[in-house]
Chain A
Amino acid sequence: MSLPRSDYDPRRVCLNPFPDVNFGKHRRTIGIYLAGALFALANWTFLDAAILSAHAHSPYDEPQIPPPVHVAFVDWIPGFCSLFGMLIINLIDKDRIRGDEGFGDSNAVWRARLFLFIGFALMAGGLAGSISLLVLKYVIKDYPEEFTYYGYANVSQNVALMLSAVVLWIAQSAQSEFDYNLTL
C-alpha cells in the first residue's frame, strides 16, 4: 500500500521539489547572500546595457552613421515588473500561505495566496516581456551583435531576478534546527 510522503500537506500551495542541500546552520545566511549577489548582478547587467547605449557612438570609419537603436524606456519596463513582483513576493508572510488555521481568519490565507499569485505573475510577466522585447525590438530587425546585446542583457536581468527571488524564498523557508524539533 502506498503511503503519502511524510512531508505531504494538502494545504501547502508550493511544494518545492529541490534537493535538500545541507550547509549546516549557515544555510540561510549563504542563501540570502547569494540572493543579494544575484539581485545586484541582474541590475548591473541591465545598467551595463543602458550605459553602453548612452555612450554608443558611430563607427570610426563611417562617422555619419548613427547607432541604429538605443535603450529606451520600453526596455526598463520588464525589469520594473520583475522588481515589483519580487517585492510583493517577499512582503508576504510565509506562514500565512501554508494555511495554518490556528491564527487569523481563513480569509487572510486566501488574500495572501492572491497576492502571491500576483507577485509571481508579475515576475513571469517581466520575463516574458523581456523575451518578447528581445525578439520584437532586436532580433527581427537584424541589428549587428553589439546592439542585440541590449536585448540579451534584458533577458538575463529578468532571469537573474527570478533566480534571486527563488533562492531567497528557499533560504527563508529553510527550517532551522529548533523549528524542526518543534514540528516533530
Chain B
Amino acid sequence: MAAGVKTVILLSFVLALGFLLIILSCALWANWLPLLVALTFVLAPLPNALFAHCGGDEFSSYENSGAIDLGRFITATIVITGFAFPIVLTHSEVITPTACAMSIVGGGLVYGTILAYSAAFKQDSSDFD
C-alpha cells in the first residue's frame, strides 16, 4: 500500500499546483475570469460519471447505449471549452497572454490529476466481462 500512498500524495501535490497556477493567473492581474477554467475542468468528468451506469448493466453490451455516447460527447465539449476559454479571452484582450498560459497549464494539471486518479484507483468490479 506504500505505492498507493505515494501516488495519492503526488497527485494531490499536482492538483494543488494546478489550482495555484489558476488562482495566480487570476490574482496577479486582479481579473477573476480565469477561475471559470478551474470550474470547467472540475465539471469535466461529471457527464461520464453520470451516464456511465445508464447502459450496459443488462446483458446488452452489443447495443451501445445512447446515454453513454451523450456523456462522452459532453465530456469532450467541456474539455475543449476549458482550453478554448482563456484563448478567447486573450484574443479579445480581457486577460493577458501570461495569465492565459498559466490558466491553461493549471487547468491541464487539474484535469490530468483527475484522469490519473480515476485511472490509478479504478475499482476492478468487472470480473465477468
Contact = CB atoms under 8 A, between A and B. Distances in A.
Interface of A: 28-29, 32-37, 39-41, 44, 47-48, 51-52, 54-55, 168, 172, 176, 178-179, 182
B8 interface: no
A51 B80 contact: no
Given A44-B81, A44-B84, A51-B91, 6 more contacts: A35-B76, A37-B76, A37-B77, A39-B76, A39-B77, A178-B62
Contact of A41 (B72, B75, B84): B84
A80 to B, nearest CB: 17
The 4 nearest A-B residue pairs measured at CB = A36-B76, A40-B80, A178-B62, A44-B84
Interface in B65-79: 69, 72-79
Interface of B: 61-62, 64, 69, 72-81, 84-85, 87-89, 91-94
A36 B62 contact: no
A179 B63 CA distance: 8
A33 B61 contact: no
A159 B69 CA distance: 22
A46 to B, nearest CB: 10
- Please indicate which of the listed interface residues A37, A52, A172, A182 has the most CB atoms of chain B within 10 Å of its own CB: A37
A133 to B, nearest CB: 21
A37 B80 contact: yes
Given A40-B80, A40-B84, A52-B91, A28 B64 contact: yes
B80 to A, nearest CB: 4
A36 B77 contact: yes
A32 B76 contact: yes
B92 A40 contact: no
Contacts of B92: 48, 51-52, 54-55
Nearest to A33: B76
B30 to A, nearest CB: 18
